[in-house]
Amino acid sequence: MTTAIRVLLVDDQELIRLGFRLVLEAEPDVVVVGEAADGDEAMRAVAAHAPDVVLMDIRMPRTDGIAATRSIVAAHPQTRVLVLTTFDLDEYALGALDAGASGFLLKDAQRSELTAAIRAVHRGDAALAPSVTRRLIDRLRAVPPAPRRTSSADDPTAELTDREREVFIAIARGMNNAEIAHHLYVSESTVKTHVGRVLAKIGARDRVHAVILAHRHRLIEEAEPLPPRSDGSSTS
């Protein structure tokens, strides 16, 4: 039998925590191991319960969700943080992603979206729809990039094979596994294998951080456009 996903709920509103608990406890593969009302309580609860996934609110008293996420990711790298936000792609959510969260979810998400997001971050994926990834990319493009690299030692993709580099650039452009597989004429399982190797080699926790890394190091603007498929489709 598959081990249940251990979830910690972090929100300063008790009714919201109760609502999430009721939804999650109805899932056969999810168990709620604890709750916390702010970032300080969250950090203590993670140490005590070792959850697989933390549902993290952003705007809370004392220690907010961004600071708590940064501390949890640093101290407990096996625990994934899924950010809860009221506003679609607000600055707080982006800050939490930068701090190490594996994705974010709107508080009014449907039940299926919530459970799918938890399962996604638990298996190491990012809980961001492709459209959201692309909006994140638009935000990153507006941020001043890091200084240009002066040697291959500064390139986080230096150890990637040519195929892995293609996959990395595709990820950074907001493509999901199905889109990458379609474009490169390979199976989704092959893409999944490549994605895992890419993330390991560049030191990224998940796809979100691969996107952030690519744009901060100006790798997208320096990359050649992906060649169009022979059927005439294009990813540009």
Q: Which letter does DSSP use for residue 173 in this model?
A: T
Same domain, residue pair 141 and 120: no
Q: 50 in the Ramachandran plot: left (φ > 0), alpha (ψ -120 to 50) or beta?
A: left
Same domain, residue pair 54 and 100: yes
Say what the pTM is. 0.70
DSSP sequence for the chain? -PPPEEEEEE-S-HHHHHHHHHHHTTSTTEEEEEEESSHHHHHHHHHHH--SEEEEESS-SSS-HHHHHHHHHHH-TT-EEEEEESSTT-HHHHHHHHHT-SBEEETT--HHHHHHHHHHHHTT--B--HHHHHHHHHHHHTSPPPPPP-SGGG-TTTT--HHHHHHHHHHHTT--HHHHHHHHT--HHHHHHHHHHHHHHHT-SSHHHHHHHHHHTTHHHHSPPPPPPTTS----
Same domain, residue pair 86 and 200: no
Query: In the chain, count of helices (H) and strands (E)?
Result: 11, 5
Of the residues 101, 127, 153, the one at which a domain ends = 127
CATH number at residue 151: 3.40.50.2300
Per-residue pLDDT of the chain (236 residues; tens, 9 = 90+): 568 999 999 999 999 999 999 999 999 999 999 999 999 999 999 999 999 999 999 888 888 899 999 999 999 989 999 988 776 655 676 777 778 888 888 888 889 989 999 998 898 777 765 556 666 666 666 665 555 554 555 678 889 999 999 999 888 887 888 889 999 999 999 999 999 999 999 988 778 778 778 877 777 665 555 555 545 444 44
Same domain, residue pair 149 and 175: yes
Same domain, residue pair 49 and 79: yes
pLDDT score at 224: 54
pLDDT score at 191: 93
Q: Which letter does DSSP use for residue 109 in this model?
A: -
Q: Which domain holds residue 186?
A: 128-236
pLDDT score at 221: 60
Same domain, residue pair 118 and 165: no
The whole-angstrom separation of Cα 105 and Cα 150 is 38
Do 233 and 196 form a contact (C-beta atoms < 8 A)?
Answer: no
Do 101 and 82 form a contact (C-beta atoms < 8 A)?
Answer: yes
For the chain, how many structural domains are there in total?
Answer: 2
Of the residues 81, 103, 127, the one at which a domain ends = 127
Do 16 and 42 form a contact (C-beta atoms < 8 A)?
Answer: no
Of the residues 102, 127, 152, the one at which a domain ends = 127
Cβ atoms within 10 Å, residue 103: 25
pLDDT score at 232: 47
